[in-house]
Structure formats: C-alpha cells, structure tokens
C-alpha cells in the first residue's frame, strides 16, 4: 500500500519531523511505502502529482492547518494531532489501511466488469470514487505523455525528411526496408526512415504503458505485469487505447482482489514476485484475447464491410460518418476501419476515393489540434502534464498523428471523445463538401501540395478544430462548475459510500465501442 502524509506543528522545528520519522518507521514496519511532506521550518518538499495519484490513503498529523489540503481530496484520510503520530504511528498506519481497504473496494467493484452504457457516467457519481478513478487514469496518462511526444515528433520528423511514402506499403514499410540495409548517412530519406522507425518503436509503447501504469496506480508493482501484458495484447488485437483502458483497470482490479486473499505463510513471500504476476497476466491475457479481442476483430471487419457497402451514399454524409469514426478511438478498431477503408480506395483511385482519403485525413488531424488549442485557450482546465502535451500536439495534429490526443481522451473520455468526434464529423463533411482530394495516405500538412482544393481541406480542418475545442471547453467547464458546487470536505472522503462511482469508469465505454 502507498501512503502519503503531512506532518505539521506550531513551531515547525521538532514535532513535525518526529512525527514524520515515526510514520516512516511504522509504515516500513507494516510493509507499506510512505512519503511524508513535512510542513515545517526546514522547508518542505511537496508531494509530487504522481505520489498523490498513486497513494491509497493519506494521513494528516498536524496541529496547524495543513497547506493545500485539496490535493488530498481523492484519498481516504486519517487526520489526527501531531503528537498522536509520534506516540502511536503504528495505529495510524492500521487506520490508514482500513480507510484504504474500504475505499478501493467501492471504486473498483464495477470497473473491471464494466458493462454499463456510457450514459451511466451521467449518474451522480460519488466524488470519492470518481476522483479515485480519475487519479488512476491520470497516473497512466502522465506516463504515456512523454511517449506520445517523443514518438509522435520523431514520426513527424520522419515524414518531413522521408516523405509520406516512408510508411508504405503497409505490409513491408519503406522505413523498415531502408533500416534493414546499410545506413546511408548522406541520404535524407534514410534519416527520415530512422526517425520514423524510432518513433514507431516509441508509439508501440503507448497502450502498454497506459494500461500498465493504470494497473500500477491501482494495485502497486505486482499489477505492472498484467497491465503491460494486457496493453500489449490490446495492441496485437487492434483494440487500441480503449482496449488498453480495459486491460489496465482489469489488471489493477484483479491484483487488488488477489492481494486480499489469505495465503499460507510459505506462499506469501513469492506472491508479489511470482504468483500475482503469473495469475493475473494469465487472466487478463485471456480476457484481452478472447473476451475483448475477438469482438473487436469482428467489429472491425463488420465496420469495414459496412463501409464498403455504403458506395453511392451521399458524399457529405459519408464524410461526416468517417469523421466520427476517425476521432472515436485514435488508432483503435473504429478509427482503423475508417482509415483502412480510405486507403484501400487509393489502390483503384476514383475521384470519390480521393475525396474520401482527404476527408479521413482531415478528420484525423482534428483531435490533437483541438486539444492543443484548448490547452492554450483555457489552460486552467488541464493539468500541467496535459498542457505540456498540448504543445507537442500542434505538430502531431498537423502531421495527421491522431494519437497525440490519446492522453487527453484517456484522462477524460466522456468529455473529450464526444467533442473531438463532433469536430471530426464537421471536418469530414466539409472536406467532402469542398471536394478536396488526396492521393497520399498520410502526411498531414506535408502533403498539402499534393491535394486538390487544399484551401477547402484546410478550412475543413480549422472549422472542425474550432468546433471540437469549443465543445471540450464547454463540457469541461460545466463539469468543473458541478464539482465546485458539491465540495467534499477532505475528512469525509473515507465515509463516502458511493458504488455509483464505479459506473463512471471509463472502461465502460469499450464494450459499447466494440459493438459500435
């Protein structure tokens, strides 16, 4: 278990540190990890966002007001006077264990099982449970962001240097061919292939890292393995980041549950290193391959067939539909069905196929661009990490790397995904209406010179971006107001009995998405 604590006393030179020392010793004795923020006169090192997000419980041992209490609002809390921590630290650790044991039980009860419709999110969720889920998500997201930025920018660089052909054809990409031969340092294309290859390697980690660190936030180190393995299977089966959210929550919830088992003493020692990772990986792997993977494969195939049967449909309507699909799961099955449909048309280029390709690329550029714009317009609605990611997202969006929006979508799926889908729909429909055409399957603004009616294309992208930005800011502002309207006193967090919160788990979107 992970505990965060704050100690503080009137003078700030003695009790603060004695309490910290006592808590650290008691936590270690009980086999937990603890980070104590000593709000004393020797300066205090503030708890990091990650430490706060990963914590299972908080202890305040203070005779003066704890600074920035709202950081702990999502955690079950044990609050006592500072002397109590010095004389009875082990008791406080036990209390924190109890508080944490009550809290996660309600928060995860429904998360892995998640069968509810996304509409369930609108049910008044218990703030304790909902913010717990959000904290787990944010842990995963905070680890993913550097991968998105580094990988995405390298891929964009690859396109810029090597041209859009660098990833063609799909089954034996040019970059792999170039990299498997001798490296020609004098060739720009070779450098482009190199950048693309490295970026792709980084991108392959997106979903496993997201899944792995959600599980880690929930159930600590033993959950890393099933989280990563489940995320990797989500990649293999094409389940995308929504599949990764499912595997992360499933792995975390499963390990939480296994940890409550009473095992013989002889076995206890190898539980975290052998038994838990083995057992949970097997279960999560089965879940991801059989329960999640198969329906997703079927859904992708179904969508593709359906799209192929749509020939002759109103072009604008088709653009709208493809736009919605492109922005639903950024690299997941629905996005892939739309994208593959467009690329397949390029092999037998008809004028219609070229407009479809343009609409699909335009819509796919919207999510990162909209998120980048949103972080600039109203930065206060986003976390520091998200604002950082927003900066990289400009270039990712311009390069048609939709994955740049994954951290935003994973952190707040119910507000972000509908917003960017609406923006994508506007862009897709407009691009079709303007009759923009494109012969290249990738490249974003780098292939604007190859387009027919590039101005129409760009107008479509800008319009959709503005729509998505406005919507996401509106939804986030409304949510913020509602949160402010029902403040939760920190001390009451442990007593929140709110099973409804579990239904707001983002993983509940995936079954719905898989059958979309």
Q: How far is the CB of 126 from other proteins (least distance, A)?
A: 36
What's the sign of the alpha-carbon dihedral 85, 90, 95, 99?
A: positive
Per CB under 8 A, the list member of 2, 32, 34, 38 interacting with other proteins is: 38
Stretch that binds other proteins, among 5-13, 284-292, 462-470, 491-499 (CB under 8 A): 5-13
In terms of Cα–Cα distance, which of 282, 142, 269 is closest to 226? 282
Nearer to other proteins, 38 or 335 (CB): 38
Stretch that binds other proteins, among 36-44, 96-104, 209-217, 393-401 (CB under 8 A): 36-44
Does position 41 interact with other proteins (CB under 8 A)? The reply is: yes
Enter the DSSP assignment of 68: T
Distance between the two ends of the chain, CA-based, in angstroms?
Answer: 38
Does position 22 interact with other proteins (CB under 8 A)? The reply is: yes
Question: Residues 308, 420: contact at Cβ < 8 Å?
Answer: no
Nearer to other proteins, 14 or 315 (CB): 14
Per CB under 8 A, the list member of 2, 40, 440, 469 interacting with other proteins is: 40
In which residue are the tokens 């920035």 written?
68
Stretch that binds other proteins, among 11-19, 142-150, 242-250, 398-406 (CB under 8 A): 11-19
Does position 14 interact with other proteins (CB under 8 A)? The reply is: yes
Nearer to other proteins, 21 or 483 (CB): 21
**Partners of 79 in the β-ladder:** 60
Nearer to other proteins, 44 or 281 (CB): 44
Residue 420 CB contacts under 8 Å (≥ 6 apart), including other chains: 327, 366, 367, 370, 371, 405, 409, 468, 472
Per CB under 8 A, the list member of 42, 117, 273, 290 interacting with other proteins is: 42
Nearer to other proteins, 9 or 471 (CB): 9
Please tell me whether residue 116 adopts helix, strand or coil conformation: coil
**Partners of 452 in the β-ladder:** 437
Enter the DSSP assignment of 312: T
- Binding residues among 69-88 for other proteins as defined by CB under 8 A: 83, 86-87
| Pairing verdict, β 57-62 and 2-8 | parallel
Does position 20 interact with other proteins (CB under 8 A)? The reply is: yes
Nearer to other proteins, 18 or 206 (CB): 18
Question: Residues 220, 2: contact at Cβ < 8 Å?
Answer: yes
Stretch that binds other proteins, among 6-14, 50-58, 251-259, 445-453 (CB under 8 A): 6-14
Does position 18 interact with other proteins (CB under 8 A)? The reply is: yes
460 sits in which H/E element: helix 454-485
Q: How far is the CB of 61 from other proteins (least distance, A)?
A: 12
454-485 helix and 351-377 helix, angle to the nearest 10 degrees: 40
Hey, which residues are catalytic here? 9
The full DSSP string for 53-64 is: HH-SEEEEEESS
Q: How far is the CB of 94 from other proteins (least distance, A)?
A: 18
Please work out the total of residues on this chain that contact other proteins, with binding judged by CB under 8 A. Answer: 21
Question: Residues 37, 4: contact at Cβ < 8 Å?
Answer: yes
Per CB under 8 A, the list member of 31, 43, 264, 489 interacting with other proteins is: 43
At residue 198's C-alpha, the angle toward residues 205 and 292, to 5°, is: 25
In which residue are the tokens 């799926």 written?
413
Task: Give one word for 485, left, alpha or beta, with left for phi > 0 and alpha for psi -120 to 50.
Answer: alpha
Stretch that binds other proteins, among 21-29, 197-205, 369-377, 478-486 (CB under 8 A): 21-29
- Binding residues among 87-126 for other proteins as defined by CB under 8 A: 87
CB hemisphere CA count around 104 (13 angstroms): 28
Stretch that binds other proteins, among 9-17, 339-347, 348-356, 395-403 (CB under 8 A): 9-17
Nearer to other proteins, 41 or 177 (CB): 41
Does position 10 interact with other proteins (CB under 8 A)? The reply is: yes
Residue 442 CB coordination number (10 Å):
23
Nearer to other proteins, 10 or 169 (CB): 10
Enter the DSSP assignment of 507: G
Does position 13 interact with other proteins (CB under 8 A)? The reply is: yes
Binding site for other proteins (CB under 8 A): 10-11, 13-18, 20-22, 25, 38, 40-43, 63, 83, 86-87
């Amino acid at each position: 278990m992970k505990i965060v604590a704050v100690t503080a006393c009137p003078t700030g030179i003695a009790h603060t540190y004695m309490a910290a020392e006592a808590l650290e010793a008691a936590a270690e004795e009980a086999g937990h990890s603890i980070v104590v923020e000593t709000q004393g006169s020797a300066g205090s090192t503030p708890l990091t966002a990650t430490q706060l997000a990963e914590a299972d419980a908080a202890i305040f041992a203070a005779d003066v007001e704890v600074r920035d209490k709202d950081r702990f609002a999502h955690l079950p809390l044990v609050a006592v006077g500072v002397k109590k921590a010095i004389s009875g630290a082990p008791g406080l650790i036990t209390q924190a264990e109890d508080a944490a044991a009550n809290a996660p039980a309600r928060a995860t009860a429904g998360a892995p099982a998640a069968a509810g419709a996304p509409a369930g999110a609108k049910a008044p969720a218990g703030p304790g449970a909902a913010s717990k889920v959000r904290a787990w998500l944010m842990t995963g997201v905070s680890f993913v962001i550097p991968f998105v930025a580094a990988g995405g920018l390298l891929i964009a660089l690859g396109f810029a240097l090597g041209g859009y052909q660098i990833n063609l054809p799909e089954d034996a990409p040019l970059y792999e061919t170039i990299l498997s031969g001798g490296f020609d340092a004098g060739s720009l294309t070779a450098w482009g292939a190199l950048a693309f290859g490295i970026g792709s390697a980084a991108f392959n980690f997106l979903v496993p890292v997201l899944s792995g660190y959600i599980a880690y936030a929930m159930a600590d180190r033993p959950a890393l393995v099933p989280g990563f393995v489940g995320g990797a299977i989500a990649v293999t089966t094409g389940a995308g980041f929504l599949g990764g959210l499912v595997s992360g929550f499933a792995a975390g919830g499963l390990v939480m549950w296994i940890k409550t088992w009473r095992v013989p003493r002889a076995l206890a020692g190898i539980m975290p290193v052998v038994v838990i990772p083995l057992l949970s990986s097997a279960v999560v792997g089965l879940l991801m391959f059989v329960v999640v993977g198969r329906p997703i494969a079927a859904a992708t195939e179904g969508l593709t067939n359906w799209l192929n049967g749509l020939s002759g449909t109103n072009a604008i309507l088709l653009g709208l539909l493809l736009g919605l699909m492109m922005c639903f799961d950024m690299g997941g099955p629905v996005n892939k069905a739309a994208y593959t449909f467009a690329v397949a048309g390029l092999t037998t280029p008809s004028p219609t196929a070229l407009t479809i390709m343009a609409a699909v690329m335009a819509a796919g550029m919207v999510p990162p661009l909209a998120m980048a714009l949103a972080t600039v317009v109203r930065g206060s609605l986003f976390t520091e990490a998200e604002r950082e990611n927003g900066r990289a997202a400009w270039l990712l969006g311009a390069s048609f790397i939709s994955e740049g929006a994954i951290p935003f979508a994973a952190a707040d799926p119910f507000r972000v995904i509908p917003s960017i889908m609406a923006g994508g729909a506007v862009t897709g429909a407009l691009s079709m209406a303007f009759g923009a055409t494109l012969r290249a399957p990738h490249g974003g603004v780098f292939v604007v010179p190859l387009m027919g009616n590039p101005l129409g294309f760009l107008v479509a992208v800008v319009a959709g971006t503005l729509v998505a930005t406005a919507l996401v800011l509106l939804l986030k502002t409304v949510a913020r107001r509602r949160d402010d309207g029902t403040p939760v006193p920190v001390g009451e967090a442990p007593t929140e009995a709110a099973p409804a919160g579990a239904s707001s788990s983002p993983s509940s979107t995936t079954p719905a998405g898989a059958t979309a």
